[in-house]
Amino acid sequence: MTKITNHMPTKELQALDAAHHMHPFTEDAALAKKGARIITRGKGVYLTDSEGNEILDGMAGLWCVNLGYGRKDIAEVAARQMEELCYYNTFFQTSHVPAIALAAKIAELAPGDLNHVFYAGSGSEANDTNIRLVRRYWDVKGKPEKNIIIARKNGYHGSTMGGGSLGGMAGIHAQGGLPIPNIVHIGQPHWYAEGGDMTPEEFGLVRARELEDKINELGADRVAAFIGEPVQGAGGVIIPPSTYWPEIQRICDKYGILLIADEVITGFGRTGNWFGSETMGIKPHIMTIAKGLSSGYAPIGGSIICDEVYHTVANSGDDFNHGYTYCGHPVAAAVALRNLEILEEENILDHVRNVAHPYLAERWNALADHPLVGEARLIGLMGSIALTPDKANRAAFASEAGTVGYRCRERCFANNLVMRHVGDRMIISPPLVITPAEIDVFIARATKSLDETYAGIKADGLL
Ligand code: PMP
């Protein structure tokens, strides 16, 4: 077989991709007909495809390449670690320096008494850990029946059996027998789509109090934990009303429910603080982390665990019967540690707070004046715009949800910009290192794409 390289014609690469590579979250037969866009390299905020196009990556991959593409200093750390110790496990009374150093660094950065790290290979795996961990915690406490986890509709926590069950995505639940037992869902704090005539603040309280109602319905002695993303990402970058998280915190405290913050997207600077929990003013018992932990340079995730949960499980007198071959993988851990050091050395959080966010906010929020845009929201460097045929009423399109969003996404891709759509909401999460000049390119391409979408749907009678 000939060696398959970047230099092959795009069509040949697409054909091989279609023949042998089954894509995640994809209708593969449809993609095979169209052909995948082949990405060949990345530098800073730009990707290059096999046709030589330079694409501005407004999503940082899947919300993960926070330091941007192509950092030699991280590659060198990975190469060095592969030579020194490419792999060893941490199951059987052994440990290694990358796992130790990274855990110590994460404990230093995490707020409060979140001092303990259980590693995973991804966000989904880490949330599977969390399900088993909180149930184990209450079991050790003598309350094995306190095992229900409350999550939210339209939340996203991964696509394993556990992660997909915690998530509240109807499309995921519809395939493969999810959710697993004893996971229940309450409404999301999505004011724009569901808030009706209420103010955002009123609506935030109403949605938070669904948690209290659910706890009362089930009995607090049956509820182990509540899990939520500080800012919903895959659900459409839903920034909750200011009243929401304080009320959730009050309810968790009142009823003795563990609070799990899924920081897979919001962790490590995305919202302008180290963690989204700090931005939202909450104090979780457990945080889920992945993505920005390594800026996507290596697959790694984990759970950051508070003293109380850790000590209870650690002192149970028995093993915690859970783990993955690649827990704390030395190369991934070394890469993640270097990533965190760079975030500090290069003052990336200051850049987000004082340069990139203010500049992007000014330009992004101005998109709300576009005839197709109902609202523009941005927190740190994650944002969304709602596409609508009727600004005043926050109305949905008559076409099937996602039709216009998909068309806009396609215009963006044609204009060498990656913006993703969730239904008819466009979402962004650019690398944290993005500069004002790059933001100008971003907004110019986004505006052109919105204009073309608007003209296209008008011409096709979708408005
Ligand atoms: N939690 C959240 C909040 C996420 O956004 C994601 C991924 N988009 C996950 C969990 C799952 O992470 P992974 O894809 O690494 O399993």
Look at residue 116 and give its three-state secondary structure: strand
Query: How far, in Å, is the centroid of ligand 1 from the Cα of 263?
Result: 9
Query: What are the φ/ψ torsions at residue 302 (nearest 5 degrees)?
Result: 175, 175
Distance CA 149, CA 225 (A): 5
Which residue has the CA at smallest separation from atom 12 of ligand 1?
A: 123
Q: What is the 3-state secondary structure (H, E, C) of 285-304?
A: CEEEECHHHCCCCCCCEEEE
The torsion region of residue 160 among left (phi > 0), alpha (psi -120 to 50) and beta comes to beta
Distance CA 400, CA 384 (A): 20
Fold of 37-70+347-459: Aspartate Aminotransferase, domain 1 (3.90.1150)
Query: Is the distance from the beta carbon of residue 258 to the nearest atom of ligand 1 less than 6 Å?
Result: no
Q: How far is CA 120 from the centre of its chain?
A: 16
Which has the closest alpha carbon to 236: 380, 420, 399, 411? 420
- Ligand 1 pocket: which of 291, 324, 420 to mutate (most atoms <8 Å of CB)? 291
Cα torsion at 79, 67, 387, 455 (round to 10°)? -80
Query: Is the distance from the beta carbon of residue 128 to the nearest atom of ligand 1 less than 6 Å?
Result: no
- Ligand 1 pocket: which of 169, 265, 286, 427 to mutate (most atoms <8 Å of CB)? 265
Distance CA 417, CA 410 (A): 9
Q: What is the DSSP string of 411-423?
A: HHHHTTEE-EEET
Query: Is the distance from the beta carbon of residue 260 to the nearest atom of ligand 1 less than 6 Å?
Result: no
Query: Is the distance from the beta carbon of residue 235 to the nearest atom of ligand 1 less than 6 Å?
Result: no
Q: Which two tokens stand for residue 133?
A: 């961990």
Distance CA 268, CA 343 (A): 8
Residue indicated by tokens 């028995």: 318
Look at residue 384 and give its three-state secondary structure: strand
Distance CA 401, CA 440 (A): 30
Query: Is the distance from the beta carbon of residue 265 to the nearest atom of ligand 1 less than 6 Å?
Result: yes
Residue indicated by tokens 């309450």: 186
Query: Is the distance from the beta carbon of residue 324 to the nearest atom of ligand 1 less than 6 Å?
Result: no
Query: How far, in Å, is the centroid of ligand 1 from the Cα of 335?
Result: 19
Q: Are strands 258-262 and 286-289 parallel, antiparallel or unpaired?
A: parallel
Residue pLDDT tens, the chain, 463 long = 789 998 899 999 999 999 999 999 999 999 999 999 999 999 999 999 999 999 999 999 999 999 999 999 999 999 999 999 999 999 999 999 999 999 999 999 999 999 999 999 999 999 999 999 999 999 999 999 999 999 999 999 999 999 999 999 999 999 999 999 999 999 999 999 999 999 999 999 999 999 999 999 999 999 999 999 999 999 999 999 999 999 999 999 999 999 999 999 999 999 999 999 999 999 999 999 999 999 999 999 999 999 999 999 999 999 999 999 999 999 999 999 999 999 999 999 999 999 999 999 999 999 999 999 999 999 999 999 999 999 989 999 999 999 999 999 999 999 999 999 999 999 999 999 999 999 999 999 999 999 999 999 999 999 8
Question: Does 3.40.50.980 match the CATH number of domain 73-345?
Answer: no
| Rg from Cα positions in the chain | 22
Query: How far, in Å, is the centroid of ligand 1 from the Cα of 64?
Result: 10
Distance CA 12, CA 88 (A): 38
Query: Is the distance from the beta carbon of residue 229 to the nearest atom of ligand 1 less than 6 Å?
Result: yes
Distance CA 78, CA 74 (A): 6
Query: Is the distance from the beta carbon of residue 158 to the nearest atom of ligand 1 less than 6 Å?
Result: yes
Query: How far, in Å, is the centroid of ligand 1 from the Cα of 27?
Result: 20
Query: Is the distance from the beta carbon of residue 122 to the nearest atom of ligand 1 less than 6 Å?
Result: yes
**Domain ranges, ordered by start, for the chain:** 37-70+347-459, 73-345
Q: Which two tokens stand for residue 73?
A: 């200093």
Burial label, 266 (beta-carbon count in 10 A; 0-12, 13-18, 19+): buried
Query: How far, in Å, is the centroid of ligand 1 from the Cα of 39?
Result: 22
User: Do 37-70+347-459 and 73-345 fold alike per CATH?
Assistant: no
Query: Is the distance from the beta carbon of residue 234 to the nearest atom of ligand 1 less than 6 Å?
Result: yes
The type of residue at 430 is P
Q: Are strands 258-262 and 223-228 parallel, antiparallel or unpaired?
A: parallel
Distances (CA, A) of 202 to 93, 243, 347: 52, 8, 37
Which parts of 39-100 are beta strand (E)? 39-43, 46-49, 54-57
ipTM of the complex: 0.99
In contact, 337 and 105? CB cutoff 8 Å:
yes
